Amino acid sequence: MSIYGNLRTRYSMKVLKPEQHAKVLFLSVIIGVWGGLSAVILKNIAFYTHSWVTQDFNFGKGTYLYFVLPLVGLTLTTLFTTYVVRDNHLNHGVSVVLHSISKRFGRIHNHNLFSSMIASLLTITFGGSMGFEAPIILTGSSIGSFLGRKFHVNRKTLIILVGAGASGALSGIFKAPIAAVVFSLEILMIDLTMASLIPLLVASMSGAFMAYLFMGNGVLFSIHIDHGFQLGNLPFYILLGIFTGLVSLYFTRTTFYIEDKIAKIKRKSEQILIGAVGLGIMIFALPSLFGEGYEFLRQIVSGETVDLVNQSLIPSSTEVWHLLLFMALIMMFKVVATAITGASGGVGGVFAPSLFMGGVSGVFFAKLINLLPFVNVSEKNFGLIGMAGVMAGVMHAPLTGIFLVAEFTGGYSLFTPLIFTAIFSYLTISIFEKHSIYTKRLAAKGELMTHHKDKAVLQMMTVNKLIEKNFKTIHKDAMLSDLVKVLADSERNVVAVVDEENNFQGIIFMNDIRNIIFKPELYDKIRVDELMYMPEPLVEPSDPMEEIALKFQESGNYNLPVIKDGKYLGFVSRARVFSQYRKLLREFSDE
């Protein structure tokens, strides 16, 4: 059993005082308004900047500007992130938020209040094939973190306000308040309790209100649903879920593969050049890959595929196999374009690309099965539902996909097929990928927050803050007489053995030598290196606390030596780890 296994904390929350409740709700309103307004500003600036950049830009005939604009965008973005804000992690917006929750108690750098918005504008309006959603989520979360720290809220409340900021900003960009709350609960792992749910709802509605106030009542995809859900098509929606799950797997694996390959290129200028040339070639051949791609997505879901083919270098045709080839190429290269944009220094998110891929996948699948005799499904419906499928698979967030697509399309009549497709997509990719595109790298480094309270609290603990240095050391060439003197002055029953350069050699446990330390005749005959032994296991400062807890459990030791590059740093004790764990658990659980 784990050293934490016998701890049973009743998770009933302490009641906050009325003035504390009022402060949290007040901050939630401000965060939602600020986040929603940021989303409105970002979308409007993006629209006008895109119009200015692409003026006199003929998408139907091709232009060599396709090769120039990505280079300009990636260069400006890299200069901004490297020399202005000095932060090269802006292209992982949601992952930055998750890391701040897991390892920094919700503290996010203040420059993220504006930096991710500016960087994403430079990337996407110049052709970068990404979306604005992750940058605005990072902005909203930064707003929550900033105001929470200014008003000196506790750690638990600060994390809730970070989630409220994400919900407010996402609600503002999509006008989808329910989906925005579900996003914070499902992806950011904010606890589903009344004390956290109410601030998320307040912030989300405030963000949506700002969007409605400045941008009207329309939704992102105001598409008329021609045919509602038909029970006879349920098997096809299940198959669509499996298909979008496989598309999600391709999306995730390709993204990580390209990022890893480009990361091996050390010179930033070479990364930018490779990304710009690759992106330029792709959008020259398939202009639909330029930028976010929402207009292309609207057209393909609405059935306006002929015009889209005419814009590409593919010869125009109305043959269904020709259209299927076109969409297959779009699905194949959209992921490559997105990954190469982010890996080459661009800033943006995978929200828009996953919706893009889902819409194309849904229409592609519908066209394919409509070739079968006696089958006639709605390509529009499959396009909309495919969006939820790929989003559920890529983000491992079926509820977010379901509610987001239902809200921003107005397609509530498709709730049942949305549920089936999203669930089967998630189940399909879960066979191959345990973590989402946001959490895979964090999980690999042991930096991922989860709803499991033991693991969540362990993620918040670090070895460096637990190292105890009151253990005595002795040189390996010392004699027993020297060891006796050290033990006489020691508070602990363990002595670390080192060499002249402080390299760790082993330990001496007092109980092991009790039979000889009272024999003076042996003091000058026995050397320390004859008494020491190398303990197992050892701990490094970079080890995640969950791994250290496992080391305590498997070894049964009460103290483990901490070593970095062979140098002795101190010990970490089971008692201190457990004490810190209980302290953090109480703080994390209080509301």
Report pLDDT digits (tens) over 96-124: 898 888 778 789 999 999 999 999 999 99
Neighbours of 19 (CB within 10 A): 8
- Which residue type, as a one-letter code, is found at position 259? E
Cα 342 to Cα 251: distance, rounded to the nearest angstrom:
14
The SS3 assignment for 4 reads: coil
Q: Which has more pLDDT, 109 or 583?
A: 109
- Has residue 24 got a pLDDT over 60? yes
Q: Which residue has the tokens 């194309």?
A: 360
What is the gyration radius of the CA atoms in the chain, in angstroms? 28
CATH topology for 231-448 is Clc chloride channel (1.10.3080)
CATH (one of 3.90.420.10, 1.10.4030.10, 3.10.580.10, 2.40.160.40) for 456-589: 3.10.580.10
pLDDT digits 0-9 by tens, 517-541: 888 888 888 888 888 888 888 999 8
Q: Which of 246, 272, 270, 451 is nearest to 358 (CA)?
A: 246
Cα angle value 95/101/105 (rounded, 5°): 145
Cα 47 to Cα 57: distance, rounded to the nearest angstrom:
15
53: CB partners within 8 A, 6+ apart: 69, 125, 126
Domains of the chain, by residue range, sit at 18-215, 231-448, 456-589
Q: Which has more pLDDT, 465 or 39?
A: 39
Contact 74, 275 (CB under 8 A): yes
The SS3 assignment for 302 reads: coil
- Which residue type, as a one-letter code, is found at position 263? A
Model pLDDT, residue 57? 62
| H helical segments located in 294-414 | 294-301, 305-311, 320-343, 351-369, 379-395, 398-409
pTM of the model: 0.78
Model pLDDT, residue 14? 42
Model pLDDT, residue 37? 95
Is the bond preceding 537 in cis, omega lying within 30 degrees of 0?
yes
pLDDT digits 0-9 by tens, 223-255: 666 677 778 889 999 999 999 999 999 999 999
Is the bond preceding 561 in cis, omega lying within 30 degrees of 0?
no
According to CATH, the superfamily of the domain at 18-215 is Clc chloride channel (1.10.3080.10)
Burial class (CB in 10 A: 0-12, 13-18, 19+), 383: buried
pLDDT digits 0-9 by tens, 327-363: 999 999 999 999 999 999 999 999 899 999 999 999 9
